[in-house]
Amino acid sequence: MLQYGLAGSMKGFHSMPTWRLFSRVPLVAALLLGLVAQAGAAEAKLRAVATFSILGDLVAQVGGDRVAVTTLVQPNADAHGYTPAPSDARTLADAGLVVVNGLGLEGWIDRLIKASGTKAPIVVASAGVRPIEAEDDDHGHGHAHHDDPHAWQNIANARVYVGNIRDALARIDPDHAATYADNAKTYLATLDALDVEVRAAISAIPAAQRRVITTHDAFGYFTAAYGLTFIAPQGVSTDSEASPRDVGRIIRQIRKDRIPAVFLENIADPRLMQQVARESGAAIGGKVFSDALSGPDGPAPTYVAMMRNNVAAFAAALGKR
């Protein structure tokens, strides 16, 4: 009826007297505005909030054009010790979905959710992942056993994240469930190809040289899945501080095992690894991305690019003697 009414209003304009033509303009304008408003409502996007940048990219891959994603902890920033801003509570309050990692990564998120009063569903992306146990020793916590939160470092776990995100979006927005399923299917195929790529790159590194020094213990799942051994002076959280004893132990191990390179993390102060490299004689093998993506113009703006960047850095530094 609206289209017919608009067509009827336009019909015969050329034959109308000028005064009658202009008397019809407000009616036509109102009809056009109504059409625009209806189109805008149809295109309204679901507001999803992800706690950190890696998770934000996974939500964007599954949500596609239907979802507007906001990330609380920005690229190159550390989710472990993040201090929420008042604007974060407002962001959660306006959200249609909140996606968290879980496994103890975001120690601040429960307080923020409560403070925001958000009514949005909360989805734990890591639900269903088999956690590996981490131990922080001599970092001010004694022997503290808990789950390692960095599950995304195994691509098989990233697949679990994608499935949880897809299902959550479908529950909230069932009219577009097929779109989310298609997006997830396409992205899962990309992850399968990435997994093959990573395994091929690691297998090309001589077995005796598959040892990596990084700032904090963020790569336990990568070790379990792909066979590199990671050694770090800090524990699984960057909140812990490396003791002089830990740093000395790492330096001795580098010398003893002739580990060729240490790696800087994009979320960490580089001075610790620079000290380790200087005192051990190891080279700095480049920057890797553990808990956060780079900015859009950096080498790791997406999860897939992050994994490729890290593996390329490891292979370049460790694949030669």
Model confidence over 57-76: pLDDT tens digits? Answer: 999 999 999 999 999 999 99
Question: Binning pLDDT at 50, 70 and 90, where does residue 104 land?
Answer: very high
Please report, as a single letter, which amino acid is at residue 184: A
Q: Which two tokens stand for residue 203?
A: 């297998």
Q: Quote the pTM value.
A: 0.81
- Given a cut of 90, is residue 247 above it in pLDDT? no
Give strand ranges (E) for 46-143: 46-52, 67-73, 97-100, 122-124, 133-136
pLDDT the model gives residue 37: 53
Buried b / exposed e along 232-244 (16+ C-beta atoms within 10 A) = bbbbbbbbbebee
Q: Which of 132, 134, 112, 303 is nearest to 221 (CA)?
A: 132
pLDDT the model gives residue 305: 98
- Given a cut of 90, is residue 85 above it in pLDDT? yes
pLDDT the model gives residue 100: 98
pLDDT, tens only, 37-61: 554 445 699 999 999 999 999 999 9
Among the residue ranges 33-37, 108-112, 298-302, the one predicted with the least confidence is 33-37
pLDDT the model gives residue 142: 42
φ/ψ of 142, rounded to 5, equals 65, -145
CA dihedral of 176, 49, 195, 105, whole degrees rounded to 10: -140
pLDDT the model gives residue 48: 98
The three-state secondary structure class of 263 is: strand
pLDDT, tens only, 268-320: 778 878 888 898 888 888 888 999 999 999 999 999 999 999 999 999 988 75
Q: Count the neighbouring beta carbons within 10 Å of the beta carbon of residue 122.
A: 17
Ranges of each domain in the chain? 2-42, 46-192, 205-318
Please report, as a single letter, which amino acid is at residue 255: R
- How much of the chain, in percent, has pLDDT values that exceed 70? 79
Q: Where are the alpha helices (DSSP H) in 15-96?
A: 18-42, 53-63, 86-93
pLDDT the model gives residue 138: 39
Tell me the average pLDDT of the chain. Answer: 84
Cβ neighbors of 214 (< 8 A, separation 6 or more) are 230, 231, 232, 262, 263, 265, 273, 288, 290
Identical fold for domains 46-192 and 205-318, yes or no, is: yes
Among the residue ranges 44-48, 66-70, 185-189, 245-249, the one predicted with the least confidence is 245-249
Q: Which two tokens stand for residue 73?
A: 């902890």
What number does CATH give the domain 205-318?
A: 3.40.50.1980
Q: Check if the beta carbon of residue 169 is closer than 8 Å to that of residue 62.
A: yes
Question: In CATH, which of 3.40.140.10, 2.40.50.100, 3.40.50.1980, 3.50.50.60 is domain 46-192?
Answer: 3.40.50.1980
Q: Check if the beta carbon of residue 220 is closer than 8 Å to that of residue 150.
A: yes
The three-state secondary structure class of 2 is: helix
pLDDT the model gives residue 162: 98
- Given a cut of 90, is residue 169 above it in pLDDT? yes
